[in-house]
Amino acid sequence: MENLFIDFLKVVEPQHQNFVKEIHESLIASGYKIKVENKATGYFVSYSHPKTKQSVFNFFFRKKGMKVRVYPKKINIEILSKLSSTMRKELDSAMICRRLVNPADCNQKCVMGYDFTLDGKRYQKCRYNCFEFFVTAESMPVVMELVKGELWNNTNC
């Protein structure tokens, strides 16, 4: 698995490599399991909780660049208030969680999404793309805070 991660890191833009390494090292040091796949769209790196096996973080590629997806257990409004306008647009465009809005509209085995209010606006977003952001200079510090907050939540529950 380590060789695949090294291959993935080789295709990451140089200005994002330290960010990727820091996230990786934090998650691995906290006991999360890594899975690296080489898909048609590029590498897909997933980190999962060692006990629940649920994904907590992903790196993946799209035509416009590398993206991350964070699956927080708890919503930290203080961190979310730091989202840039670009990141807020990405949050706004995330799919609505059909299970939150009308449970009969979604598979009952689906993990329910997020329901929170940020700056007076209510969000009911799908778990699988709510916190999905392109990796940019402005997104990296906020994503890092989300990940470190999640690590804290999982070790202090």
Q: Identify whether 123 is part of a domain.
A: no
The domain of 58 spans 2-72+133-155
Three-state DSSP state, 75: coil
pLDDT of residue 156: 39
Q: Identify whether 62 is part of a domain.
A: yes
Residues 94-118: what's their mean pLDDT? 89
Q: Identify whether 59 is part of a domain.
A: yes
Q: Identify whether 26 is part of a domain.
A: yes
Q: What is the CATH number of the domain that holds 23?
A: 3.30.160
Residue 7 pLDDT > 90, yes or no?
Answer: yes
pLDDT of residue 152: 59
Of the CA atoms within 13 Å of residue 151, those in its CB half-sphere come to 18
Q: What is the b/e burial string over 39-59, where b = at least 16 CB atoms within 10 angstroms of the residue's CB?
A: eeeebebbbbbeeeeebbbbb
Residue 33 pLDDT > 50, yes or no?
Answer: yes
pLDDT digits (tens, 9 = 90+) for 36-92: 999 988 999 999 988 888 899 999 999 999 999 999 988 899 999 999 999 999 999
